[in-house]
Amino acid sequence: MRLYRFTARLVLPFALVRLWWRSRNDAEYAPRWTERLGYGGPIAGAPIWVHAVSVGETRAAAPLIRALLDDCPQTPVLVTTTTLTGAAQVAMLFGEGVIHRFAPFDLPGAVARFLDRTRPRVAIILETEIWPQLFATLARRRVPVFLANVRLSERSFRRYQRIPRLIAAALGVPAVIAAQSQADAMRLRALGAPAARVHVTGNMKFELSPTAGLREAAQALRLAWGERPVWVAASTHQGEEEVVLTAHRVLQETFPRLLLVLVPRHPERFEAVGKMVRSGGMVVVARSAGGPVTDDTEVLLGDTMGELMLFFAAADCAFIGGSLVATGGHNPLEALALGVPVVFGPHMFNFDEVARLTRSAGAGVQVADEDGLIAALRTYLGDPEARRAASESGEALVRTHQGALGRTRALLAPFLTSPAPSSEGP
């Protein structure tokens, strides 16, 4: 732990410079960056604390957070994220129904200040957020730690094996570790998590249902676009847009009126991606500009927050980004829940189990490169029967694997009804 703290302190100056830079360029973040150091006003009422790093984790946590709001209406719910996009997602989903803070750095002072001000009754940490200093401090303060929806890829497992004592100590703290799959559970136990505390609950990302009015809004959008084939390139990363745009050009030879909805993963790249499309000679409309998508429009740039589900619902098929580059892919389940066939690249290690299930169900295709992407999209766009079969398979896959929320709630219930700890401590 001493070496870990020393390393964290070495990194801190660079992190502070980055925070300062981000605060200069984001008016909403500027008054709040000190929350990463544990500062912020006190929160009364011993809140239930849910930590979700960014957008994907926040979406996965949303059904659980809604359940907590229903089950414990008198207890405040605190949601932390580490990213601005995660904060925006919390605001969009819950408004003032929850309290949002940026999570503190995993340093003794920052963690202590955060806990002094929030004093949670339980800490619910989503997915693979293993923070040794935070866990040790929560244990000293007798705040129960509940790891929910935990996934641990083979890649992360090998990385954690390099620091076995530190990870084993951290994994000894949570009272419950709710793993997504048996493979995740096995890896967690191999790293030192007490076997009796590890439970397989399934993946809460399957707990999806279209919001009221979503399909109607998508139909209206599709009507406004005209009678033309549409595909979405969702959550793309640097190095993927070039491939996507080339594929679009090739596909236009077969489908001349084809529309691409291009949604970069990170908002700070919206402008650069828009320039890239225009420099390639394509007619592009930015969603944020509010202009119409005309017959001449080739690309709609999805440069708004919170509309990806709408774009999925209005599309014939979708490419899931972060998978043609070694990022690890993103979650295809939102598209599948809406009956949209998916295509993803070879790098899906962050969602390896979901990718396997998708392939096995015939709800999507994994490709190796640009040629494979073009071939898969051409099939889905040009073959209504193949598209229908994949659509039905995707919806059935999501329905079949639901239930993680109920199992998680059952494990969590004792911690919600027990007296809140004082949360005071060194």
Kindly report, residue by residue over 139-173, the tens digit of the pLDDT.
999 999 999 999 998 999 999 999 999 999 999 99
pLDDT in tens, 257-278: 999 999 999 988 999 999 999 9
Same-domain pairing of 73 and 137: yes
Residue 426 located in a structural domain: no
Same-domain pairing of 248 and 308: yes
CA dist., res. 311 & res. 21, Å (int): 32
Taken in order 112, 113, 117, 118, is the CA torsion positive or negative? negative
The domain spanning residue 162 has which CATH number? 3.40.50.11720
Cβ contacts of residue 250 below 8 Å, gap of 6+? Answer: 374
The domain spanning residue 285 has which CATH number? 3.40.50.2000
pLDDT in tens, 16-63: 777 667 666 666 777 888 999 999 999 999 999 999 998 889 989 999
C-alpha dist (Å) from residue 23 to 8, 19, 46, 71: 21, 6, 30, 37
Question: Taking Cα atoms as reference points, which of 90, 181, 77 lies closest to residue 127?
Answer: 181
Residue 173's pLDDT is: 97
Same-domain pairing of 80 and 29: yes
Residue 424's pLDDT is: 56
Number of domains within the chain: 2
Same-domain pairing of 242 and 362: yes
- 260 vs 83, higher pLDDT: 260
Residue 376 located in a structural domain: yes
Beta bridge partners of residue 325, listed in sequence order: none
Q: Does residue 9 surpass a pLDDT of 80?
A: no
CA dist., res. 191 & res. 165, Å (int): 9
Beta bridge partners of residue 263, listed in sequence order: 234
pLDDT in tens, 177-206: 999 999 999 999 999 999 999 999 999 999
Same-domain pairing of 189 and 295: no
Residue 253 located in a structural domain: yes
Same-domain pairing of 195 and 256: no
Q: By the 8 A CB rule, do 395 and 339 touch?
A: yes
Q: Does residue 10 surpass a pLDDT of 80?
A: no
Least confident of 60-64, 319-323, 358-362, 374-378: 60-64
Q: What is the mean pLDDT of the chain?
A: 93
Q: Does residue 392 surpass a pLDDT of 90?
A: yes
| Confidence at 118, pLDDT banded by 50, 70, 90 | very high
Same-domain pairing of 238 and 172: no
Residue 6's pLDDT is: 65
Same-domain pairing of 171 and 316: no
Residue 25's pLDDT is: 67
Residue 424 located in a structural domain: no
Catalytic positions are 57
Percentage above 70 pLDDT, the chain: 95
Cβ contacts of residue 187 below 8 Å, gap of 6+? Answer: 152, 154, 157
Q: Does residue 383 surpass a pLDDT of 90?
A: yes
Domain that holds residue 320: 214-400
Mean pLDDT, residues 224-248:
97
Mean pLDDT, residues 322-327:
96
Residue 422 located in a structural domain: no
| Confidence at 305, pLDDT banded by 50, 70, 90 | confident
Residue 356 located in a structural domain: yes
Same-domain pairing of 258 and 285: yes
Same-domain pairing of 248 and 119: no
Residue 24's pLDDT is: 67
Mean pLDDT, residues 117-136:
95
Same-domain pairing of 258 and 289: yes
First vs last C-alpha separation in the chain: 16
C-alpha dist (Å) from residue 194 to 20, 183, 184, 186: 40, 15, 14, 11
Residue 316 located in a structural domain: yes
Same-domain pairing of 155 and 258: no
Helix (H) or strand (E) holding 233: strand 230-236
Residue 199's pLDDT is: 98
Residue 234 located in a structural domain: yes
